[in-house]
């Protein structure tokens, strides 16, 4: 076996750790979504996507961070296993964060709030790094996984910007400024949408209280009528 072949085999072995961590992360996040759907008044999650970082993206990131491309060093990265949770409104993002924090199965090792402190590019989103233990052939490794939580609007901007600029070096400063301005405009829109969603939730609460009152009255009324018919 050539040195290159045995290196690829080693990478295959290590991939098992990442794949197993991804499965555990998917289960945890789907459970969070199910908990909201069945036990809560709010449905904050629009969709969840998960992925294992592609080999080329891994190579590019280690190069960018001046990390030698070895198997052991891949464990230094926190986002080989990643999940993205997209929520409709900004407040929903924080409901999801609180739920993640309430899970003892997800050990949080780092949080980055790029919503309160956006990146220079204009990027917004909340990142949580969690550690998931994986045992393969009796060897345990704690695998770092990155959960990105964004609003639909932030996600739209980040996905487009990722294609247009994020990893390229040829965008002019003027165009970068334009992208940054769009991110700020989108943030203004997000805030207005959030305000409207709070209003909507309040009026839903009122409606459901009125519905409960009407139900109660109707039950009392029927009971009274029943009492009169004997």
* Residues engaged in binding ligand 0O2 (CB under 6 A): 53, 57, 61, 79, 112, 119, 121, 123, 127, 158, 161-162, 166
Of 48 and 158, nearer to ligand 0O2 (C-beta) is 158
Least CB distance to ligand 0O2 at residue 166 (A): 4
Q: How far, in Å, CA of 161 to CA of 217, rounded?
A: 55
Least CB distance to ligand 0O2 at residue 192 (A): 23
Of 52 and 193, nearer to ligand 0O2 (C-beta) is 52
Least CB distance to ligand 0O2 at residue 121 (A): 3
Q: What is the DSSP string of the chain?
A: --HHHHHHHHHHHHHHHHHHHHHHHHHHHHHHHHHHHHH-S---EEEEEEEE--HHHHHHHHHHTT----HHHHTT-S-SEEEEEEESSHHHHHHHHHHHHT-TTSEEEEEEETTTS--TT----EEEEEEEEEEETTEEEEEEEEEEEEEHHHHHHHHHHIIIIIT-S---HHHHHHHHHHHHHHHHHHHHHHHHHHHHHHHHHHHHHHHHHHHHHHHHHHHHHHHH--
Least CB distance to ligand 0O2 at residue 151 (A): 14
Of 99 and 127, nearer to ligand 0O2 (C-beta) is 127
Least CB distance to ligand 0O2 at residue 165 (A): 7
Of 57 and 197, nearer to ligand 0O2 (C-beta) is 57
């Amino acid at each position: 076996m050539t040195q290159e072949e045995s290196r690829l085999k080693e990478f295959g072995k290590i991939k098992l750790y990442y794949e197993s961590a991804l499965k555990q992360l998917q289960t945890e996040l789907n459970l969070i979504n199910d908990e909201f759907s069945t036990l809560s008044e709010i449905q904050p999650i629009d969709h969840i996507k998960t992925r294992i970082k592609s080999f080329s993206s891994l190579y590019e990131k280690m190069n960018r961070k001046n990390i030698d491309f070895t198997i052991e060093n891949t464990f230094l990265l926190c986002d080989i296993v990643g999940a993205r949770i997209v929520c409709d409104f900004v407040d929903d993002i924080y409901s999801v964060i609180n739920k993640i924090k309430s899970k003892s199965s997800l050990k949080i090792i780092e949080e980055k709030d790029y919503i309160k402190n956006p990146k220079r590019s204009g990027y917004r989103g909340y990142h949580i790094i969690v550690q998931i233990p994986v045992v393969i052939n009796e060897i345990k490794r704690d695998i770092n996984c990155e959960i990105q939580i964004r609003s639909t609007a932030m996600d739209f901007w980040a996905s487009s910007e990722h294609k247009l600029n994020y990893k390229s070096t040829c965008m002019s400063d003027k165009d970068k400024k334009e992208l940054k301005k769009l991110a700020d405009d989108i943030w203004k829109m997000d805030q207005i949408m959030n305000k409207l969603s709070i209003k909507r939730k309040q009026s839903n609460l009122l409606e459901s209280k009125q519905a409960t009152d009407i139900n109660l009255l109707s039950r009392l009324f029927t009971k009274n009528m029943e009492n009169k018919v004997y």
